[in-house]
Amino acid sequence: MEGIGKNNLFLLAVLIVLFTACSSAGRSRFRAENHIGFDTINVHERSHLEGDTSKPFCDIHVQFVYPATASRAIMDSLQRFFVRQTFGDFYNALAPALAADAYVENFIKNYNADAVTYRETAKDIMELNTLIPGIDISDSEHEVKDTFYSYYESLSDSIVYNQYGLIAFQVKQSNNKDGATSYNSYRNYVINLNNGNQVTESDIFNTGYDSAMQSLIINSLLDQNNVKTISELEELGFFGIQEIIPNRNFLLNEKGIIYTYNKGEYSAYQLDAPQVFIPYSAIRSLLKENTVIYKLAGLQ
């Protein structure tokens, strides 16, 4: 009896070890790193009109983070996705370095074309003014300058999340003309490495999620701005908050979903673009089951 007892205990111990190992293996497969390596391309060009450093110029800075190492099965499509979402559809077929160079080259070309158009328009207006009786073209009110102004642009992307078969990244673009206030815009993307597709709201949520999310978004904005009512938000420069809905411009991480609302969507241009974080714990019932995001939420 004693021998049988020891054998049973040994068998039980083996079963426990095997079960634990299998369970850990299952978790580790989901929690494993994506094994995607990234590299960065930096391009900075300044081009003066007619090559004269005393004249206006365009200045562009590109900082492009892109997937440089990945499995053969996904490398090509992954790089194309990053190129397309950062630079635009026109550059989709180009390799990362070529796309960055082509984007900068086209920016300079467009600036020179804008300068030519501006000078021609200014010349036409000045000629018309000389034909109108009583107009003093030297008067500052009617003076038309044929000198163009400078353009500035900064384009960059950053990796926000890179785990559990998901990559989330944000593209930031800043434009400035004639030294005026810069306009910043943010474009968010999430790609599912299991199928190579961009993750959309319809992939994540059950039907009717938008109305359910509305109150969560509003509450997040209230908390971020330390106010208690929508009226107080409006006093800060927000508008249309009662109609705010998810705008497809989101990021994902291990804790929840982050929406970015660019300037002019629901807030004045003087305000920074709101980043609205909603934890998985608040939207678990809205998530589609058996998806990567549902599993990710289950880790919390």
Per residue in 182-234, pLDDT (tens digit) is 889 999 999 999 999 999 999 999 999 999 999 999 999 999 999 999 999 99
In this predicted structure, the answer to whether residue 9 has a pLDDT above a threshold of 70 is no
What structural domains does the chain harbor?
A: 34-199 (3.30.565.40), 200-300 (3.90.640.20)
- Residue in the block written with tokens 């497969």: 29
Q: pLDDT at position 121, please?
A: 80
pTM: 0.83
Q: 217-230, pLDDT tens digit by residue? A: 999 999 999 999 99
Indicate if the pLDDT at residue 17 is higher than 50.
Answer: no
d(C-alpha 99, C-alpha 45), whole Å? 15
Separation between Cα atoms, residue 4 and residue 11, nearest integer Å: 10
Residues forming beta bridges with residue 60, ordered by sequence position? 45, 153
* Extended strands (E) in the chain: 37-48, 57-69, 151-163, 166-177, 183-192, 197-198, 250-252, 256-260, 275-279
Band of residue 148 on the pLDDT scale cut at 50, 70, 90: confident
Task: Give me the residue label for tokens 């949520």.
Answer: 205
* DSSP-derived pairing of the beta strands 250-252 and 197-198: unpaired
The yes-or-no verdict on residue 11 having pLDDT over 60 is no
pLDDT tens, 160-172? 999 999 999 999 9
* pLDDT level of residue 119 (50, 70, 90 thresholds): confident
**What is the Cα–Cα distance from 53 to 50, expressed in whole angstroms?**
9
pLDDT-based confidence at 30, cuts 50/70/90?
low
